[in-house]
Amino acid sequence: MAWTFGEPPLDETAELAAVLRRVVGLVLAQETPSDEVQRLTAQLRATEAALQSRGPRSSSPRIGDDADPGGRVYLDHSRDIGAFNPVFPLYDLAVDGDLATGAVEFPLAYEGPPGVVHGGFVAVFFDCVVQHHNCDVGVAGKTTRLDVAFRRPTPLQTPLSFEIRRTVRAERIESEARLRKGDTVCAVANVEAIAGDRAALPSVSPRQAAP
């Protein structure tokens, strides 16, 4: 049984995330100022003000028996976070027991050195796909260690592949993940996580009805 914890995102949230990811890349590539970007910024400021006026009183998630009813909804972070949050990478992943394989392509928004993915985003990517694998298998928990070895620069806007192998020992999940461009290994991650107990998870308040 797959592991989930939290509410699914709204369809409009996922749609916006995809657009924002593409627009950020286009804006970063512009050579000169443009009226379009200035109009977009003005519209975003207006949207920001409107959303603040109708948002929750608190930014704390509504988790646990003592959750603040004025807090925000907690969205499920077990898998595919990039589908609703453009700060996280998008990827495809297929799970076959303790083996998982997939594909990823990092857009311009994740650039560090010229033409290369920032190492911090590579680490975030590894944490995401390893926990996705754990959650799909049905035994997951908080990451306790994440070691990344950068073997070669990870190129931007390039189809990449990855594989994950995991083992469970007592209360620990150990995973090794490799990110490749063709036959070349770009980075390797060794990740440890706690094998959590579903029964110990706190309650998550459901999404509130519109006022």
CB 138 within 8 A of CB 1: yes
Burial call 189-210: b when 16+ CB within 10 Å, e when fewer: bebbbeebeeeeeeebbeeeee
Q: Which domain holds residue 61?
A: 11-199
In a 10 Å sphere around its CB, with 0-12 CB exposed, 13-18 middle and 19+ buried, how is residue 98 labelled?
Answer: middle
Domain assignment of residue 129, yes or no: yes
Q: Tens of pLDDT along 34-66? A: 999 999 999 999 999 999 988 888 889 999 988
Q: What CATH number does the domain containing 99 carry?
A: 3.10.129.10
CB 30 within 8 A of CB 37: yes
Confidence of residue 198 (pLDDT cuts 50, 70, 90): confident
Domain assignment of residue 2, yes or no: no
Return the pLDDT at 170: 82
Domain assignment of residue 209, yes or no: no
Domain assignment of residue 4, yes or no: no
When pLDDT is averaged across residues 157-181 and rounded to a whole number, the result is 96
pTM: 0.93
Q: Tens of pLDDT along 70-110? A: 999 999 999 999 999 999 999 999 999 999 999 999 999 99
Domain assignment of residue 211, yes or no: no
Return the pLDDT at 162: 98
Return the pLDDT at 8: 94
Return the pLDDT at 211: 61
Find how far residue 27's CA is from the centre of its chain: 22
Q: Looking at the 3D structure of the chain, how many domains does it have?
A: 1
Alpha carbon separation from 118 to 89, 124, 127, 202 (Å, rounded)? 12, 10, 15, 35
Domain assignment of residue 119, yes or no: yes
Return the pLDDT at 80: 95
Domain assignment of residue 139, yes or no: yes
Element of type H or E holding 28: helix 11-28
- Among 181, 29, 33, which residue's Cα sits nearest to residue 111? 29
State the chain's mean pLDDT as an integer: 94
